[in-house]
Amino acid sequence: MPTRILSSVLLLAALLLPAAAGAQPALRTRHVFLIIADGLRWQEVFTGADERLINADNGVDDPEALRSAYWRPTPEARREALMPFLWKTAVPQGQIYGNLLKSSDAHITNPWRVSYPGYSETFCGYPSDEIKNNAKIMNPETTVFEWLNNKPAFSGRVAAFGAWDTYPFIFNTDRSHLPVDSAVGPLDFGRTSPVIDLWNTARAETPYRWGSTCFDSMVFRPALEWIRLNSPRLVFLGLGETDEWAHEGNYDQYLHAARRVDTYLAALWNFIQSSPEYKDSTSIILLCDHGRGGDAPLTTPPAALPALDGVQPQQWRDHGGRIAGAQQIWIAIWGPDTPPLRERADLPAVTQSQVAATLAALLGEDYPAAQPRAAQPIGDAIKAPADATRTP
């Protein structure tokens, strides 16, 4: 074939290739934030404060003050009082799964119902055979974060920030070399600033109430500054206070921590809206690593959920393999590629193991093709690829 014709054929092929790929048009998402509120129950997320727990038996110092902050006559009003950004801004433009009262089931597939197995399932897309508790061992599984960071388009643009000293193990930083700020010690990678320096000083000079977990402000505020300075494409944010206060049996502090999670979501969203790079190109996935015990929330008439039959409300403090209901989670997703179906109801169950592939799919990557153990994406959460570019 003469060179001139060959080059014309190559040119034609080059022109046709994007058209062929156009059958699967690019989504608008260029950045994903994955956020986990540790052990925050679906009961509070969907129905707000539980009146039966607003008392001294559940660690509440000032029941009247807590009631005036979070108690409202209806579940809808209660959840908006607890998480106003989630319910007024995020859900109306996205989706949330897991309200058992509306036949929407979101659950973990690992049997352990504790943190490390839940994070590993979320990050890897399947329950690990090796990770059965919170022991600090380097994760033998590869996370979707490591998988993406090994691709040129994401290399060096992936980071994790979490209020627990086990995250470097979950991400296997020995092998992955991912930058993971576990908030125990300074944030010391990437571009920094006087704001981050100040938070590092605060970390060094503030007691750690729970030893291995810091207060959420200590991880979220410097992380937000770091995101502004370093423009990552994929970020994990782990907030831990909801779990810690629950274990202490402080229902007031547990609710306040949930309220702060919502404050951080609003702050992150405000940053996204103010940033030409992130605005209209960022998707957010928000969930918990595991549920907790406790029966169905108060409703009129009372709801009977088979899985929670006989469970006492006081069991909200605990989670683990033997705690009924602790397998139930919730998952919220919003961004430019997620249809605004809002609070989902009457649909098949979704699982924590679907989060990794959903995250990758939003970024245009087929994770289960590379990791066959990974569950498929949550299909409803991503716009069907047709409408954007199909030509008549």
Q: Give residues 13-42 in contact with Zn ion (rule: CB under 5 A).
A: 39
* Cis check: omega of the bond before 385, within 30 degrees of 0: no
| Per-residue x/- track, 122-151, Zn ion (CB under 5 A) | ------------------------------
Q: How far is the CB of 164 from Zn ion (least distance, A)?
A: 10
| Cβ proximity to Zn ion, 275 vs 315, nearer residue | 315
| Cβ proximity to Zn ion, 120 vs 283, nearer residue | 120
Residue of minimal CB distance from Zn ion? 243
CB 128 within 8 A of CB 181: no
Q: How far is the CB of 289 from Zn ion (least distance, A)?
A: 8
CB 75 within 8 A of CB 276: no
| Cβ proximity to Zn ion, 41 vs 79, nearer residue | 41
For residue 25, give the nearest of 337, 341, 378, 392 by alpha carbon.
337
| Cβ proximity to Zn ion, 107 vs 233, nearer residue | 107
Q: How far is the CB of 104 from Zn ion (least distance, A)?
A: 24
- CA atoms of 150 and 365, how far apart (whole Å): 13
| Cβ proximity to Zn ion, 329 vs 360, nearer residue | 329
Pull the structure tokens for residue 218: 């200590």
Where residue 136 falls (left for φ over 0; alpha for ψ -120 to 50; beta otherwise) is beta
Q: How far is the CB of 306 from Zn ion (least distance, A)?
A: 25
- CA atoms of 203 and 199, how far apart (whole Å): 6
- CA atoms of 136 and 267, how far apart (whole Å): 32
- CA atoms of 249 and 53, how far apart (whole Å): 10
Q: How far is the CB of 292 from Zn ion (least distance, A)?
A: 8
Q: How far is the CB of 118 from Zn ion (least distance, A)?
A: 10
| Per-residue x/- track, 38-57, Zn ion (CB under 5 A) | -x------------------
Pull the structure tokens for residue 8: 């014309």
Q: Give residues 341-380 in contact with Zn ion (rule: CB under 5 A).
A: none
CB 149 within 8 A of CB 123: no
Q: Give residues 233-252 in contact with Zn ion (rule: CB under 5 A).
A: 243
Q: How far is the CB of 314 from Zn ion (least distance, A)?
A: 16
Number of chain positions touching Zn ion (CB under 5 A) = 2
For position 289 contacting Zn ion by CB under 5 A, the verdict is: no
- Give 152-181 as a DSSP string: TTTTT-EEEEESSTTHHHHTTHHHH---EE
The residues binding Zn ion (CB under 5 A) are: 39, 243
